[in-house]
Each structure stands twice: as C-alpha cells, then as structure tokens.
Structure 1
C-alpha cells in the first residue's frame, strides 16, 4: 500500500518563517487588519484508489476533475481553482461560468498546465481523468492528488457513499456526508419495497438517434440499478459495451415484452448533442415496433434525469431511486 504524506511547499515554509520573524520584530504593535482566517485544519487519513493518504483538512485551493464530486462540492460551497468545464455541461454554472476557475478542458484533450498554474493544494482526480493520475502527481509535487471515484468491480452505490464519506472528512462536512449516504440507502430500500418483484424490466441507452441495450447489473447508469433493486431483466445477457450500451433491434426489445423500461438519454446532458440525436421519449414513442409493448402501453417508461450522463453522482442516483419508487407505487 503506497502512502502519500502531506507535502509542505517551499513557498509555504518561507511564508511561515517570514511571519515568525515579523512577529518577533513588531513587539506589542497593534495588528493590521487582515483577511479572514481560513477554516481550521487537522491532519486526516483515508484510503483512496492508490493507497493511504495523509493530508490537512479544509484545503484552500482545490481542483476537481471527477464528475461525481461536483454536486457535493457545489452544495457545500467549496470553491474550485480549476475544473474540466468541457465535460460539465450546464449543471454547475457556479464553476463553469466563473472565469476565475481555470478550464482543464476534457479528458480527451486535457489542459493539465491549467492545473499547474492554479497552484492547488488538493487535486481530486479519477473517473474520466483516471489515466492522468501519474502526470498529475509528477506535475504538482506540492499538491495532494487523490482518486476516490467508484472502482471497477465494486458495488457502485457503496463506492459513491465511500466517496461522500471521504469528501466529508476532507471538508469537515461529515454530518452532511452521512445525510447523503442515508438518503441513498432510504431511496434504494423504498424503491425495492415498491417493486412487485416479478415485472420484467428493460434498460436502454439512447444516443444519436439510436436505441442501445443496457445490460442488467453492469456498466454505468442503468445497469447497476437492476442489482440494487433485484429487478427481473427482460433480456438477461452480459454487456459488450458497459458504458455506451450494446446494439439491439427494436424488434428484439418488443419480443422481450418488458413491463417496464428504464432509459438514459446520453445526448440530453449536453447543450450541443451529437448530430442526428433525437430525444429518447420521441424515439420510443415513435417506434412502431414498440407501440404494443406493455411498458409503452401502460406508460411505464422511466426516463433518467436529462443531466444524468454528466452527473452520475450520489444525488442523481438517489433521485432516480425516488423516481422509480413513485412510478412503482403508482402502477
């Protein structure tokens, strides 16, 4: 297990020394008016995806790259010095519309120099920026770099709660983190209780005018919901593309005759969707092959929040489970 201790920058050491020297020279002189002191910090330890981390709580200069954390940081009024605005959509204008927040771009064409220029104390990497971890560590020796994104092969919802818990430690918001985790547990339990245990369910992902199959129990967004609620899949087969969905014909969907359909519209998250994109509800409602499927006939099609593909955070899943609870109860 690797241990990454807190690093104190040379600039910080010089600043501390200068302050001590100045205080010894001023004697009893009246103190000058100064900026408000930052929140008190303590040494904390936790384990991220690369090992044990030791750092000071309440860092002042934070870079966040993992989409799972933006909503929580925004709710907690945590300012950022840089963020990947190219993959944040219009969900967090506090960050994306603020010109003082450096733009790291996207994970496909990241501008890591923006991070260096921001002189961060903490970099929350991972998720789409997971491959940049080593570069972030090498380029920012005075920063603590962490990756707390959900790990492959682990339960997505426990991982999101782990992420909340760690953020609570870092920003001294442990009570708020516990509330987020409890809300997710409650939403899952309520949705599971509302489901009748037998109705077949189909998971779909739409993008660029196409309907794709979301395999039960795998991948992101729709897949993990099946495991959490013990849903009966209308088609039970492994995923070929767990992130973006697998090719499937509308005839195959119709043949499976699902009582419920759960749909993620990937394009809805972006202000400039892919060419040829069609809203998911129009695709499904306009399909001749699907018009007699029970889910369509009974209006039992659940559409994820339009921003879900961008967020995928603990708040988004909590809302989804609450939405499913209400739909199951109303059926």
Structure 2
C-alpha cells in the first residue's frame, strides 16, 4: 500500500447531516428569551419548552433552550461555539486556541480539571451544567453545589460503540439548544467521513496508532488506547501490534520503539499530544519529525512510504465529533489519493 507523505488533518467546511435525534418535547410551551442568537448576532425570542433527554444517568427534564449554561466537557466546546451558544461559565482553560471562546474574558473560567474553581459554577446560577470527560469525577460535587441545575453528562460510555456515542452526544445537545438541524448536519458529515474511509481502506493493511508526548513515541492500543483506540473498532482495522494489559493512559503505553518497528505497520496514525498543550515550549518536536527521524523506525514500511496520518493539532483538548470528522476525511484523502499531501502544520520548530 502506498498512501504517500505525512498528512495532518485540517478543519473541513460547513457540515450537513441526517440522523434521528432522541429528545421528547413535554407539555406547555411559553414565550421567553432564550440563550441563542441569529447568525447575524441579533437577539431572538426562542420558545422555551421543557424537554426530556437521556444522558448517562437516565432521563432528565430540562428547559430548552436553557437560560444559563455552564460547559465543562471539552468534547462539546467546538459544537457549542459553532452554534452560537452563550455560556455563563466554562472550563476555558481546557479550550484549545482554535476555539474563539478560549480567550473570551466575558465567560468566567472554571479552570481545568486539576484545580477547578467550582464556586464559579455557583455564581453562574446555571439551569444546565454540561459535564463529561475530564470533569465527570466532579459530578457529585457540582450537583450538591447547584441543586437546582440539571447536570448533563454525555461522555461516551464504556462498552458502547464510540461512533454511536458521538452521534448521541451531538444530537442530544442539538435538542437541548434547539439546534436540531445543525446537530444533524454534524452527524451526517461525520457519517460521510466514515464511509469514505471504509471504502478506501484495503482490508489487511496493518495499522499502528501512536501518541507523541515529551519527545517520546508511545503505543495506543486498539479499542482502549486514548483517542485513536476506538478508530480500530469503527473501521475494523488490522492492528500491526497487540500487547497485553494495554491502557487508556493519556500519554499512551510505554513500549519500546523497537517493538513498534518490529511490527512493521503499513500505516501509522498519530495523535500529537504536545501540539495541543506544549507546542510553545522549548524542546517541542512535532510528531512527524519524531517519527521520521527516529533511527529505530527508518526501515518501517509506513515511514519509508510516508504512510503517516496525524490528527488535528488541537485534538487532545478537542476530541468531539468535528475533530474526528476532520481526521477521517484526511485519512480518506490519503487512502484515496495513494500519495497523500504534505502539511504546513506539525513542521519542526
């Protein structure tokens, strides 16, 4: 197989879609100002309803659209931003610079999950708190601090198909914010990107997933590996290497580069963790440079043929449906073209 030179995923254009949403409008609608604005920025009077949604804890009744929203799950930030959802507080410290809300000082910052300021959530007087991923461990504390708010956690559940969980998350939030068409669009574009990869992938092509962090190349296991593990299940990829007791550690599993080389993958998929959290630090080396210049990997088929596809630079802090859509489209581009394309991103600094 010849995919071509290293390619880094880029953001696609507008997304359009079609997938069934799961939320039930309840009784009694009343007119009130909602949190949304038109595309032109004009205030709009949305019809506020109570709806039932299903999250990881069960059925919950929430106002739609909610008046005050706190967002903590970084899988959701890009969608909320693209929909124009106004936030009363958010974990802005977890937002990548690619999100315009990251530096919006008008949104109180809850901080990151290591040292969050949960009192910021209280001050926001939220109707809804969107938790998940890094903040899931704080759910009980948050519920105690804001008992009148509805906490929603749509983090992909263990044991469920990851792609279906991303669809569920997106469509449920679309119902909550009365952005059903926009949510549908994201899902349909996601589905199209999956179909492209399925058609282009040559069954039997061996695939390796790695994470680069701190100058190291670490292994990401099929299914359980952080971010890229579920991709093996979505596409039924043939893994170049499988190891016992693999983990979902955020830096990947520390196995020798020689072991990776011995597996001789045809295709290498990469998440550059440091591109999202340490690209401005001295000593940062982009993923493609680490892999292509590693002495142990020089004779690996994927490296010799340039069959390396790198996830978007902000992936580690932006792991939502749009990130995967972008990555899958870049992967499909490489597989379809047979020659890939160089990227101006992830070049050595």
TM-score higher than 0.5: yes
When normalised by structure 1's length, the TM-score is: 0.86
Kept in 2, the 8 Å contact 1:215–1:239? The answer is no
- 1:126 matches 2:132: yes
Cα shift at 1:237: 2.7
State the secondary structure of the residue aligned to 2:298: coil
- Specify which structure has the higher proportion of helix: 1
The match for 1:298 is 305
Larger Rg: 1
- 1:218 matches 2:202: no
Structure 1, 243-252 or 156-165: larger mean CA deviation:
243-252
**C-alpha distance in 2, partners of 1:51/1:274?**
43
The match for 1:11 is none
Q: CA RMSD in A?
A: 1.9
With over 3 angstroms needed to count, the CA separation of the structure-2 counterparts of 1:83 and 1:271, relative to structure 1, is farther
Q: How many residues align?
A: 298
**C-alpha distance in 2, partners of 1:315/1:37?**
26
State the secondary structure of the residue aligned to 1:106: coil
Unaligned runs of 5+ residues in structure 1 are: 1-5, 7-15, 17-34
Kept in 2, the 8 Å contact 1:82–1:104? The answer is yes
The match for 2:289 is 282
With over 3 angstroms needed to count, the CA separation of the structure-2 counterparts of 1:37 and 1:318, relative to structure 1, is closer
The match for 1:44 is 51
State the secondary structure of the residue aligned to 1:135: helix
Query: Per-residue displacement from partner, 1:240-298 (whole Å, max 9, x unpaired)?
Result: 32132111212111111111100111010125667754211111111111111111111
**C-alpha distance in 2, partners of 1:264/1:189?**
22
- 1:325 matches 2:325: no
- 1:241 matches 2:255: no
**C-alpha distance in 1, partners of 2:93/2:177?**
25
**C-alpha distance in 2, partners of 1:230/1:161?**
19
- 1:113 matches 2:116: no
After TM superposition, where is structure 1 displaced by more than 3 Å over at least 4 residues in a row?
35-38, 271-277
With over 3 angstroms needed to count, the CA separation of the structure-2 counterparts of 1:249 and 1:302, relative to structure 1, is same
The match for 2:172 is 166
Structure 1, 298-307 or 285-294: larger mean CA deviation:
285-294
- 1:200 matches 2:206: yes
The match for 1:26 is none
